[in-house]
Structure formats: structure tokens, C-alpha cells
Structure 1
Amino acid sequence: MSRPVDDSLDPLERERSHLASSRAALRAMREDVESLDIRDVTANWVNAEVLTRQIDDRIKALADLSDTPLFFGRLDYLHAPGAEEAEGAEGERFYIGRRHVHDADGDPMVIDWRAPVSQPFYRASKKDPMDIALRRRFGYTGGDLTAYEDEHLSDPAEAARTSKLLQQEIERPRVGPMRDIVATIQPEQDEIVRSGLGGTVCVQGGPGTGKTAVGLHRVAYLLYAHRERLARTGTLVIGPNRSFLHYIEQVLPALGELTVRQATVDDLVAQVEVRGTDDAAAAVIKGDARMAEVLRRAVYAHVTMPSEAVVVVRGSRRWRVPAYEVEEIVRELLDRGIRYGAAREALPQRIAHAVLVQMERSGEAPDDRVQDAVARNAAVKAAVKAIWPPVDPAKLVLRLLSDAEFLAEHADGVLDEAEQRAILWAKPARSVKSAKWSAADAVLIDEASDLVTRTPSLGHVVLDEAQDLSPMQYRAVGRRCTTGSATVLGDLAQGTTPWATRSWEEALTHLGKPDGVIEELTAGFRVPTDVITYASRLLPSIAPGLTPVASIRDNPGFFEIRTVEKAAEVASACEESLRHEGSVGLIAADARVPVLAEALKAAGLEYLAPGEETTRRVRLTLVPASLAKGLEYDYVVLDEPGAVVEGEPDERTGLRRLYVALTRAVSGLIVAHTGALPLQLA
């Protein structure tokens, strides 16, 4: 907003003065919330507890992070936003930051980056200035404002140019967890971030295109634009593993959003303890969407048509509902396609209604209380138990995987005999608790549970690294957003499971969102040119037809292929990388991790495991290749590419795993190898 300025100060000092004033105003906002007295406005302890929690969340959201810029940009409008353009009309000035800050009079000092008035900061250009006279970007060291850079968008005499501060922020070294990109969102990313709540968006993005950040910032934007609705329905971010979730967990809190839940797919379907594993063949079949039909048949096979009438005794009267009439009720419930459990609950009421019709015909005037009493009658309960018995989802799946005849009956025409044999347990379990359930089995139980009782739906779900999900896992996620929307993020070239996604159209169909819009990000902001060019040699083998990522960075990055003879030389490469600023990741085939751990210890190099970066300030992480997906390090030492490929069940999956490992570097990559490189990289 327009404010008086002290012309005695130079521009940088004026901006520092505004930063200091804004921090003071944020502090005052926080103190106002902390001083709230709710003793006289709460009716009971429940209301007090809820209100106290809301106040605590608000206090946390107003935290002033000392090493995080309160604002990162400024927009000078030619005219007041929303006002009619008139000659001599004065524009306004807005500082763009991570959250809204106002002064004691309620006037804004910093505008939330998600507000409509902030949009030109990301979208305005020389071709379309969007009524912006000047866009100013700020440079920071820690929390101190140290530089600024101006673009006069409405001045035809000034040529368009690349922002150096923007480039520096994109390439800035990092240590610890992932940070937000709110100061560097690009126009094509902003378009996805600000897409509406009603539609599902699928983002295909290669390494370094910022797809994960785009998904997280979209959640933050939707919470800003639809806060009341999403407060009721909830939001969820789903990642591939715990290490990944630890890596991204600070992004939304840094933007002031504290209520978004994070989980893995395994967390969502955790109704049984997973203690077993499947071989690849069994896992592929269990993850196939055809299993949904097998489960549906098995669940509804419990329904049997009545062979006897239902006789209800009330006082001296006996009311008889013939078997054919009960069968009509059962068939009508089956034809409606409602959940098994809901239909089972409706059946006694339907039978009771048939009894009430007879009562009315005989001259009685029964009301709803009579119908409820009839529905609870012992004869009606016995009939419902015989016709529509309860189903335990875990016991049902246990029987399918243990009983060859039961499986054959319900998989007939869906799975062939070889596929049925592949998923049958060699040693049938005696009970649900003693069974060695696999992760794929847990998804089957979740599917069966939804057939019995509808899974509650959230308002919005973000699904990251989606390319590795099976069709049945997509269905499990889709059940969590049947009445909401989703943001699906992934890269087909990085699929490393035997059931990896073949096309996003197919994935969206399994998710239950066939009308979802597919967007593609191809501009690489994080991976250096030389690194992404080298990794892209693998694309013809792993994802033919996929557009390679084009790095737009000025800095080509450091890249070296190095022949080594022993693990100690790999440790030396890590030591070299640690001389630079930023984080270092040593990525290796899972089987090589123990050997390299010993080499690092012998070299006196302290290291972390993936996910521990949030708890300790150690710059070196030893990363098994199976956990590298989604992570980033300033410098990467990749050990023995051939071993990464050989560690997978087939060459294509191995090359995809290698593609992931090669593209984790932000500033530099050393490929260290003793054995031969894969032919695609030789």
C-alpha cells in the first residue's frame, strides 16, 4: 500500500526500514493473539479447548522466522487495483511476502503471496505488464535484506532481462529439509498453483522442475482461497516414504499452514500389521485393478436369497412377509449398488415397512416408532443375519488368499489359474493376527472395507511420486477424495516399481478422476545443465517419447565421471564435495551402503540417513538408491551406477532407478565407478 517515505534514506535503507516496521507489526499481531482472554466467551470446557487450540495454531502461524524473509518482493501498480484507469490516478505499492501483516490501523504492510493482488509478481511480463509499473525483488542473507533488483515492466525503453536475484535464489545452496519456493515461482508453476479447488490436476514433471513444491504451494493456496470449506473437509499430502515426508515437512508450516496432514499410502491402509513381503509377480497381480472385481464378488457372495417367510409376532397378531416379497427387497437393494454395510442396515427397515403396510391395510395406524420396533424384532434380526450376514474385510481377504476354491469361485473369468496360484499363500494363516500380511494385502483389505463401509472423503489430496503406485493403490487414494479434488505429481521416467504407471490418463481413471487435467513441466530450475543432459541419455530406454527436461540455469554445474578402485576413494570424493557450501548426498545401491558406511567412518566423516536432516546439522547423507526419490542435495557422489541397475529385478527398472539417482544434484555430481558403466552412459 502507498505510504510516506523518508527521502533522506537511500532506497535500500528505506526497504530495510519497512522490513523492521513490518517485523514490529507482526510481533504486535502475535502479542494481540497471545493476550486474548477467552474465559467469558466459552460456554463449556469443550468450546474452551477448541478455541484454545485455534489460538495456539494462530500464534504459531504468526511466528517470525528470523532466517526467513518476511517479504521478498514489491509491486508498484500504475493504478489502484480494481479502480478505473483515469489520467493522473495514483497507483499503490504492495510488499509481497509469505503471510499478511497489518499495522495497528489495519492497513496492510505485507500482502500474502496468495492474494489476487500479488499474482502479477509471478505472472507480469514485458508483453503483459498487468498494470505493474515496477516489480522489485529483494536479496537476503539469512534474515537481513542485502540487495534489490528492479524491473520497469511498463517502460518500453527497458529491455526484458533475466533476474540475477531470482537465479541466485534458485541456485542457493541448501542444508537440511526442503524449503518453500514462494519467492521463485515461475508463471507456468503459478498457473498450476492457483488452479481451482473443483478440478483435479496431474503434473508430469522431470527432475528439478519443482513439481513437489508446486503441489505443496497449491495446498497452501487452496487453504487461503477456500479456508472454511477445507477446514471442514480436511487436506492430506501423500508421499512415497517417511524419509520423503520428513524432507518436505517444513514447507507448509513456513507458509503459515499447520493443519495439513502428511502420510504414506501404507499409513492410509494400515488396518493390519504388515510383516510379510510379496514377490514381484504376486505384488503385480494384487495391485491390479481386476482385484477390485474379485473382492466385490467375494463380499456380495455373502448375500443369500430367503427361502422362508419372515413372521413377526406383536401382541396377539402375527404378520407374515412372504419369501418372494423379502427377495424383492433384497434384489432391489443389490440393484441400487449401495455399500454392503449400508444395505444391511437398510434391510430390517425395509422388512419392517412391509409389515407396516399390512398393519395399515388391517386398519391400524402405526407410526415410525412401531416401524423401528419391528425392525428390532428377533425374527427380523434372524432373517437379516441369514440373508445379509456381516462381513469382516480382513477375514474375507484372508480367506481369498488361503482358500483356493473360494478364490477360484470369485476370480473366475477375472484371473487365470496361474495368476490365482501366484497370489495364494503357500502356508495359509489361521487368523488375521497371525497372518504375515504384505503391503499389497493391506490395500486389498482397504478395498474390501470400502465395499462394506464408505471411506470418508477429504476436500483435497496431494499425491506425490505417484508414478510408483499400483492401480489398487490409486483406488485407495481416490477413496480419500471422492467428493474432493486431487493434485497428482510424478514423472513417468522415474517409475521404479514392477507396476509403475504407464500413462497418466490410466492413473487418473484408477484414481476416480478421469476428467483430471494433465499439465507438463519441462523447465528445469534445480538440476544443472551438464547433469540433466547426461541423465537424459537414459530416456530413450526408460521413457521413450517423454520430453527431456531443459535446464534454464545460468550455472552449468560441476560434473565429473571418475574411475575409482576402492570405497575409500568414494569417501574422498565426499570429502571434496564437503569443501563446498551446501548439502552432500552419497547415493549408492542398497547393497553397497554398509561398505560405504565403513569407508566414511574410516575417513572420519560424520553422516546421516535420509530423513534425519531435520534433526541434526550434518551436511553429508548416505542415501540408499531405493530412498533417493524426491530428495535433493547440492552435491551428489553417485557410487557404482552399474550396481544401482543390477540391484533391481530387471534392467529397465534399474535404469529408471539410476535416472533418479543421477538427478538428485543441484550444483555438482561426481559419478564414481570401478565396474563398467551401463551402455547408455558409456
Structure 2
Amino acid sequence: MSTDPVLRSEREHLRRSRADLAAMREHTLSLTAQSADHVSTEYLKASLYRRAKALEDDPSLPLFFGRIDRTADDGDDTFHIGRRHVMDGNGDPMVIDWRADVARAFYRATRDDPHGVTLRRRYGFAGGDLTSYEDEHLLDPGEADVTSRILTEEIERPRVGPMRDIVATIQPEQDEVVRASLDRTVCVQGAPGTGKTAVGLHRAAFLLHTYRERLARTGVLVIGPNQAFLHYIAQVLPTLGEVDVRQVTVAGLVESVPVRAADDPETATLKGDARMAEVLRNAIWSHLGEPAETLYVARGTRRWRVPVHEAADAIRTLRERGDGYTTARALLGQRLAHRVLLRMEAAGEITDDRVQNAVARSRPVKAYVDELWPALDPVKLVMRLLSDPELLAAAAEGILDADEQQRLLWHKPARGPKTAPWSHADAVLVDEAAAALERISGVGHVVLDEAQDLSPMELRAVGRRAATGSLTVLGDIAQGTTPWATPSWPEALRHLAHDDAHLEVLRKGYRVPAAVVEFAGQLLPVIAPGVAPPEPVRSNPGRLDVTRTGGELVAAVVDAARDVAAREGSLGIIVADDAADAAAAALDAAGLPVGRLADDARITLVPATLAKGLEYDHVIVAEPAAIVAAEPAGLRRLYVVLTRAVSSLTVVHREPLPDPLIHQ
């Protein structure tokens, strides 16, 4: 038992806080959802369930990680800062949510600008037990600036399992992004290890807390590059008390057709070109006809007419409004019916809205609308566009040349939507067509990670989901590995339709150690000349081992894995995609069974194309030359896999290293 009275007092505060959190949850569970109607009752039940879920206590996590003391006019204030708000039975705060405005000072206070803070305290924990504390007296001129040992240990703590939150270690430049207002789109350029993914997720948590009522109606969407990445980050928001956020890949967002084919890089790049949006619009509006005959509508004993020029005027007005094709089509019947009503009223007939609706639904009006403004289905439209050379030529005139049009066409005619050779890029075209036909509903905020890898058409699809909201756009131009990777953030933001976004560059590297940054950074002048490497701030420079073998590569990888596995922390073994099965078999035979990406195993085998966004304490990269040779952007892919390491990087190769890499 510690004899330190401060430590004893803080442990007692932690014990009481846990008891108060349990009481808060019990109170929530005791509430009964009752309302005047069934729907409202079910809504209240769901709301209470989410509230109770958010109040669950994880004993392995500390309820608070810091404290600030501030001097106020009416005395001193003390605030314990934690992952969620906890209050006692009297309603007084025991723990302040890290997102609360008063907690801002914990992250921003410095000796030059203390934000009213006299003392900042950080806590050390083992599991959920408080083990130490560290004080910083910001107003004491005699106290020297020192690097926080607790902060350093938390940043460098071994990574095992899914990604964890960084609420205890958010740095001032990261906090600027996290606390940006909901009406502001922020684009974060961050080199490996700068914490951009964590910053984006914590901004989502901050917005959900600060704009709770507004985002409860509109929602928050997190978009990641693949399922492995989403699995890796899945627990960050729930840990922060946010359990109702949809997380999805771009494929999951747009694929409304059965994707069973893959385009070659040139075709996929063309289908992802922003010009395709104009081609689709042309194909859609080419179905709009010009009226050539007068519309006659029988009503009672008389026939009423709408002349050709009035019908043409109604069509032109609706198209110029800028609504989607289907939305505008739905209004044409009412516009034509209104013209009929004007004539009926001029003749002394009594009319009202019911009469107009009846005329709009009459057979002559519906037939007239169907002929001039036919209904369209986005799936069938895109299928026709990719199958019919004449429709494509008409829609692409002046936009795509003959060779590009030929490249777009499917080699075999499609018999129907279910059997058509849909690719992912085709599915994005369907999504674009659907939005051109009828405006889709969006969400209040979108967090888009690895945005540099999206095509212009994919970016447009994401931007539509935030048309009336905002985004947090995360990425690194140097890590763009797709053939259509964006060359600059202003261009990507233009496709997202958020040109006015604030661009923030995170420069400090908290994850990748200096030795790894220096080695991988040799690739930057070749793959991204204008991008600077991160500035490592960790006390541990890390370990780099580069081994060239004259024997079998797989055997050398097994030997390296056996050695590295003896170290504390997680191990990721990254290989070229086509070498994954052989490596897994060899490691298993050597008594080193590895997990695949969704297994949360201590040792994980990672195909190179799925490594983006992941991190491991120790990384073994097998045969860089094979990773580079596997795809056109191979050097960028290699930069990605080399920068997954938190503590040590081991490179095993038989073939010579790629030219930009020099190791002595």
C-alpha cells in the first residue's frame, strides 16, 4: 500500500468515480420507456439502451488520465479529465469528459500560455489501477520544462490488438483538428505515425458530444479503405462512449450491384475520371423528349388542352431548376395539370387541389409524361451505356475520344443486371447515375480516411454523402498507391465539393521511430518530391535490421520471425500478396502460427496491399523488390509497408533493394 498521500487520495477518487459511474448506469437501466405511441416508445427504448451502453465501465481502462487545477475568482477549481463525464449523487462532476470545453486547457496549456492552469497532472496506470502521477506547475518560474515520462510511456506502449484511443496523449496541433467546429471541413495531410486516423476518429467523437442533438438526426459516417482497416479501428469510438456510428468501406457505400469482375488499371482509371459524371448526365437527359402534340384531357363533358409551347415551357422550367431527373419528372404531371386548371377556372369551373391531383393522375397526363420524360433506372442506364456503342458515343461526344469509348464498353453484351460483368468502378458509375436521377440523403459529418487513394468519381460519391454536412478528410499524398491516386489535396477537395476546406499538415511523428523514418524516407524524393518526412519525437530511436540472404527467402523470414517474436509487443509480417500463402505455411510448419488480419493475433501475416493504416510494434518486410514489382505504384506501396513499425523494422531480402534505398 502506497504511503504517498496524494496517490492514496487519487486512488480513492478513482474508486468513488467508478462507483458513481455504476450508479449512473443502474439509474439509466431502471428507467422505463413510455410514450403516447408505439413508435416513440421504441425510439426511447433504443435511446436508453445506447445510453446504458455508453456508460459501461471497462475496468482495464482508467476513468481519468489527467487533472488540471485552475485559479478562479471564487477560489480554486480542480477537474479530473477522462473518457466520459461522471457525476456523483448530488450532480457534481467527478470526471470531466475530455471533449468538454473546460478540458481544452489540459491539451493546450503551456508555460507561455497556461490557459489559467496552475497545475497539470498526468496519471500512470497498469490495467485499470492508478500506479503513479506526474505534476507540471505551469506558473512556477523555477521549474524547468521536462518531457513527461508518463506521456512518453503511453505513446510508446506496445500495440497489441485493435487500435486504441489517444485521449491521454492528444497533442496541441492534433487538438486543433479534433475541436474544429461541425460546419468546417478539415483536410489533414499527415505522414505515417502523425496520428491522423486517431485524430479523425476523435474529431468524430468530439462532434458527437458537442453537437449531440443535431448529429442524432443526421448521423456520422466513417469511411475506411478496407474491412481489415475498419476492424482495426472498430473499438476506438465505442471506447469513447460513441456506439452508434456507421463504419463502412467505399465499396460498401456504393456497391448496389453484384460486383464480380475487375477492370484493368487503365479502364478503372478511365471509369473513375470525373469526366464520366458529364457522360452520365448526357446519357440521362438524352431521354428527355420535345413535345410535338397538344395534350388533351377529358374532364366531365369537356376536353381541355395544353398547347405544345406550354408543355415545352413546363419541361424547360423544370430542367433548369437543377433538380434530379426523377425528381423533376415527378413534378411535370402537376405542372401540366395546373395549366388545365387555369383554363377550367377561366371557363367558370370550380377547382381545388383535389381536382388538380386527379388531372395529374389521369391516364392522358401520365401517358404524355411517360412519352416525353420516361422513367429511368440507374442500374439499367449504366448497363446500357456500357453495352451500347451508339448511346455511349452520343453521351461522350466531345468528352471522350473513340479509343476511350471503346475501352469503356463491355466485351460481351449483358443479359440482365444480375448477370452483367459489374466491376467496382461500374458500381461507382451506378451511384453517380442514381444521384443524377434523384438526390440522395446525406449525413451530418463524414470521416474519410486514406482519401488520397480514391478516384475522382469515388470522391464525388463520398462528397454527396456530405453535401449538406462537413467532412474530416485524412490521408498522405506520399501513400497514394492506386493508379488514380489524387495528385493534390485541392484537387481532391474539388471533387468532394468542399473546395473551402481548411488544410492542416501534421508534421510530428509519434508512432514511427527515427531509424525507420530515416530508412523509409529515402523513397520520398522519388515518390512524392514535395512531401517532407515526419519529425520523430519519440525518445526511442527504434531498431532497424536489414538482412540479405543467399538462401531461401522463406527460411530467412522464418528465422527473423523467430527472433523478433521473442520481443514484447505485436508482430506484423508483411509480404507481397502472391507470397502470403507460402509464408503462412512455412511459419506454421516452424511452430509460429500466424493470424490473418481479423484475428487480433499477436503475430499477423499481412499482404502488402492491405497494410495501409495498420501498425505493429515490430514489422518484418519480406523482399521489397517483389512488393515494388507487383504494381505500378510499387515504390509508394513499399513506403507504406516500411512505415507500419512502432518499435523495430526488419527487412529481409534476397533480391537487391530498390535503388532509392541505401543501407550501410
1:61 and 2:41 matched: no
Corresponding residue number in structure 2 for 1:30: 25
Letter in 1 for 2:610: L
1:667 and 2:647 matched: yes
Q: Deviations over 1:253-299 (max 9, x none)?
A: 00000111000111111210100010011000000000000000000
Kept after mapping to 2: 8 A contact 1:244/1:611: no
1:624 and 2:607 matched: yes
Corresponding residue number in structure 2 for 1:50: 43
1:636 and 2:631 matched: no
Secondary structure of residue in 2 paired with 1:519: strand
What are the within-5 Å matches in structure 2 for residues 504-523 of structure 1?
Answer: 504-523=489-508
Corresponding residue number in structure 1 for 2:393: 408
Kept after mapping to 2: 8 A contact 1:342/1:453: yes
Q: Deviations over 1:474-525 (max 9, x none)?
A: 0000110100000000000000000001000000000010111111001000
1:19 and 2:14 matched: yes
Identify the match of residue 447 of structure 2 among 448, 454, 462: 462
1:677 and 2:657 matched: yes
Kept after mapping to 2: 8 A contact 1:96/1:110: yes
What are the within-5 Å matches in structure 2 for residues 607-618 of structure 1?
Answer: 607-613=594-600, 618=601
Deviation at 1:9, TM superposition (A): 5.9
Identify the match of residue 655 of structure 1 among 635, 651, 664: 635
Q: Deviations over 1:335-370 (max 9, x none)?
A: 222110111110000000000111111122311111
Q: Deviations over 1:238-262 (max 9, x none)?
A: 0000000000000000000011100
1:122 and 2:107 matched: yes
Secondary structure of residue in 1 paired with 2:19: helix
Corresponding residue number in structure 2 for 1:601: 588
Kept after mapping to 2: 8 A contact 1:287/1:440: yes
Secondary structure of residue in 2 paired with 1:402: coil
Identify the match of residue 141 of structure 1 among 87, 103, 126: 126
Corresponding residue number in structure 2 for 1:82: none
Q: Matches of 2:391 and 2:4 in 1, distance apart?
A: 83
Deviation at 1:223, TM superposition (A): 0.5
Corresponding residue number in structure 2 for 1:294: 279
Q: Matches of 1:344 and 1:43 in 2, distance apart?
A: 39
Q: Deviations over 1:362-386 (max 9, x none)?
A: 1223111111011011110010000
Kept after mapping to 1: 8 A contact 2:584/2:593: no
Q: Matches of 1:461 and 1:577 in 2, distance apart?
A: 39
Deviation at 1:302, TM superposition (A): 0.6
Q: Matches of 1:215 and 1:667 in 2, distance apart?
A: 24
1:99 and 2:84 matched: yes
Letter in 1 for 2:625: G
Q: Matches of 2:196 and 2:273 in 1, distance apart?
A: 27
Deviation at 1:576, TM superposition (A): 1.5
Letter in 2 for 1:642: A
Secondary structure of residue in 2 paired with 1:257: coil
Secondary structure of residue in 1 paired with 2:114: coil
Kept after mapping to 1: 8 A contact 2:624/2:658: yes
Q: Matches of 1:18 and 1:563 in 2, distance apart?
A: 55
Secondary structure of residue in 1 paired with 2:544: strand
Q: Matches of 1:578 and 1:21 in 2, distance apart?
A: 41
Kept after mapping to 2: 8 A contact 1:72/1:138: yes
Kept after mapping to 2: 8 A contact 1:492/1:503: yes
Deviation at 1:48, TM superposition (A): 2.6
Letter in 1 for 2:22: R
Q: Matches of 1:45 and 1:394 in 2, distance apart?
A: 37
Kept after mapping to 1: 8 A contact 2:263/2:423: yes
Corresponding residue number in structure 2 for 1:586: 573
Kept after mapping to 2: 8 A contact 1:475/1:510: yes
Letter in 2 for 1:640: E
Q: Matches of 2:558 and 2:197 in 1, distance apart?
A: 30
Corresponding residue number in structure 2 for 1:524: 509
Q: Matches of 1:479 and 1:433 in 2, distance apart?
A: 26
Q: Matches of 1:8 and 1:65 in 2, distance apart?
A: 27
TM-score, length-normalised on structure 2? 0.98
Letter in 1 for 2:237: L
Secondary structure of residue in 2 paired with 1:681: coil
Corresponding residue number in structure 1 for 2:64: 71
Kept after mapping to 2: 8 A contact 1:568/1:603: no
- Worse-superposed segment, 560-569 or 506-515: 560-569
Secondary structure of residue in 2 paired with 1:224: helix
TM-align CA RMSD: 1.1
Q: Matches of 1:96 and 1:19 in 2, distance apart?
A: 12
Q: Matches of 1:478 and 1:45 in 2, distance apart?
A: 36
- Worse-superposed segment, 350-359 or 424-433: 424-433
Corresponding residue number in structure 2 for 1:3: none
What are the within-5 Å matches in structure 2 for residues 196-275 of structure 1?
Answer: 196-275=181-260
Secondary structure of residue in 2 paired with 1:587: strand
Q: Matches of 1:625 and 1:60 in 2, distance apart?
A: 36
- Worse-superposed segment, 559-568 or 535-544: 559-568
Deviation at 1:47, TM superposition (A): 2.6
Corresponding residue number in structure 1 for 2:558: 571
Secondary structure of residue in 1 paired with 2:366: helix
Consecutive unaligned residues in structure 1, runs of 5 or more: 1-6, 80-84
Q: Matches of 2:450 and 2:598 in 1, distance apart?
A: 16
- Worse-superposed segment, 588-597 or 494-503: 588-597
Identify the match of residue 302 of structure 2 among 310, 314, 317: 317
Kept after mapping to 1: 8 A contact 2:68/2:80: yes
Q: Matches of 1:22 and 1:289 in 2, distance apart?
A: 54
- Worse-superposed segment, 488-497 or 589-598: 589-598
What are the within-5 Å matches in structure 2 for residues 176-187 of structure 1?
Answer: 176-187=161-172
Letter in 2 for 1:47: S
Q: Matches of 1:75 and 1:48 in 2, distance apart?
A: 41
Q: Matches of 1:640 and 1:554 in 2, distance apart?
A: 29
Q: Matches of 2:348 and 2:572 in 1, distance apart?
A: 83
Secondary structure of residue in 1 paired with 2:381: helix
What are the within-5 Å matches in structure 2 for residues 466-481 of structure 1?
Answer: 466-481=451-466
Secondary structure of residue in 2 paired with 1:76: strand
Q: Matches of 2:541 and 2:221 in 1, distance apart?
A: 36
Kept after mapping to 2: 8 A contact 1:265/1:473: yes
Task: Tell me how many residue pairs correspond in the alignment.
Answer: 659
Q: Deviations over 1:25-72 (max 9, x none)?
A: 11111111122233xx32233333222221111111111101111000
Q: Deviations over 1:199-230 (max 9, x none)?
A: 10000000000000000000000011100000
Q: Matches of 1:52 and 1:13 in 2, distance apart?
A: 40
Letter in 2 for 1:416: D
Q: Matches of 2:349 and 2:54 in 1, distance apart?
A: 63
Letter in 1 for 2:90: D
Kept after mapping to 2: 8 A contact 1:321/1:354: yes
Secondary structure of residue in 1 paired with 2:56: coil
Deviation at 1:119, TM superposition (A): 0.5
Deviation at 1:647, TM superposition (A): 0.7
Identify the match of residue 308 of structure 1 among 287, 293, 299: 293
Q: Matches of 1:236 and 1:37 in 2, distance apart?
A: 30
Q: Matches of 1:430 and 1:270 in 2, distance apart?
A: 19
